[in-house]
Amino acid sequence: MVDGAAVRVQGLWKRFGQQVAVAGIDLELPAGKFVGLVGPNGAGKTTTLSMVTGLLRPDQGTVEVVGHDVWRDPVEVKARIGVLPEGLRLFERLSGRELLAYSGRLRGLPGAEVDKRAAQLLDVLDLAGAQHKLVVDYSTGMRKKIGLAAALLHNPEVLFLDEPFEGVDPVSAQIIRGVLERYTASGATVVFSSHVMELVESLCDWVAVMAAGRIRAHGPLADVRGDSPSLQHAFLELVGAGGRDHGSHLDWLGGGAR
């Protein structure tokens, strides 16, 4: 891994009309870590991940993943990463097993290796019993798990996940978590976005806090949390919401006159 960095971002900008979504961020994400990109809704997390993974071209700036420029060397980068974007559209008229076979062959894996890895992933992710079921009939949790299986099938060096636990039931969430922890234990890198601080705090070694298109803090989890009792408290202070009024003037709410 180049200089210990899985991802290196320099001067990254993205605008949509007059709206600045990402405002010139610089960021290095360490290799072999569970990295959380956290921020409120609209902070620019999804836009940033889309640019880092080559799904969206930046207006300015550069992105390197494991030492390769995302836009100058896209084939090399895409061979080394797995991506599970938020709202992933799957081929719904394929079965789960067919979807993995298709994904594996697109990646250039031999058929026998695809079959072996698909069977193992389906088993670990508790999808073996639904492997011949059409994806259109999968629940939200099952869709997240089959999408994760497709993203892991080629054994990427870096895995990017956008809100991977959103809408997922506790059982599926625990299964996904176990697979990701095993993946990072082998030396691979997970980068995932979330606005659920408790989840990030329980999973991540390293955190970047984003708000209004800018990075407000980044580093090892303990450093970002500082003296705050939790990442949630530190986050609220960093994004300027720590002292916000939470409705004390709504004295009519929950009682009194209606």
Both structure tokens of 93: 């008229």
- Within-domain flag for 121: no
- CA distances in angstroms from 210 to 87, 181, 197, listed in the order given: 21, 24, 13
Q: d(Cα 58, Cα 11) in Å, to the nearest integer?
A: 10
Q: How far is CA 62 from the centre of its chain?
A: 20
- Within-domain flag for 207: yes
State the DSSP H helix or E strand holding residue 113, giving kind and residue range, or none if neither: helix 111-124
Do residues 201 and 221 touch, judged by C-beta distance below 8 A?
yes
Its domain, for residue 72, covers: 2-92+151-238
Residue-wise pLDDT tens digits, 9-55: 999 999 999 999 999 999 999 999 999 999 888 899 999 999 999 99
Q: Provide the pLDDT confidence category of residue 2 given band limits of 50, 70 and 90.
A: very low
Q: Provide the pLDDT confidence category of residue 169 given band limits of 50, 70 and 90.
A: confident
**Position 21, amino acid:** A
Do residues 209 and 53 touch, judged by C-beta distance below 8 A?
no
- Within-domain flag for 146: no
- CA distances in angstroms from 258 to 28, 208, 249, 250, 253, listed in the order given: 54, 44, 16, 12, 9
Residue with structure tokens 């899985």?
A: 6
**Position 114, amino acid:** V
CATH number of the domain that residue 217 is part of: 3.40.50.300
Q: What is the pLDDT of residue 250?
A: 78
Structure-model confidence comparison of residues 187 and 246, the more confident one: 187
Of 6-15, 101-110, 163-172, which gets the smallest average pLDDT?
163-172
- Within-domain flag for 142: no
Q: What is the pLDDT of residue 65?
A: 96
Q: What is the pLDDT of residue 255?
A: 66
Do residues 159 and 176 touch, judged by C-beta distance below 8 A?
no
Return the closest-CA partner of residue 29 out of 189, 180, 177, 163. Answer: 189
Q: Region 176-191: what's the mean pLDDT?
A: 91
Helix axes 111-124, 96-106, angle to 10 degrees: 130
Q: Provide the pLDDT confidence category of residue 140 given band limits of 50, 70 and 90.
A: confident
Task: List strand residue ranges (DSSP E) for the chain, in order.
Answer: 5-16, 19-30, 34-38, 60-65, 68-69, 81-84, 158-162, 189-194, 206-211, 214-220
Q: d(Cα 81, Cα 29) in Å, to the nearest integer?
A: 14
Residue-wise pLDDT tens digits, 45-94: 999 999 999 999 999 999 999 999 999 999 999 999 999 887 777 888 99
Q: Provide the pLDDT confidence category of residue 129 given band limits of 50, 70 and 90.
A: very high
**Global pTM value:** 0.87
- Within-domain flag for 23: yes
Q: How many domains does the chain have?
A: 1
Q: d(Cα 21, Cα 14) in Å, to the nearest integer?
A: 6
Give the sheet arrangement for strand 60-65, strand by strand.
19-30, 5-16, 60-65, 68-69
Q: Provide the pLDDT confidence category of residue 1 given band limits of 50, 70 and 90.
A: very low
- Within-domain flag for 67: yes
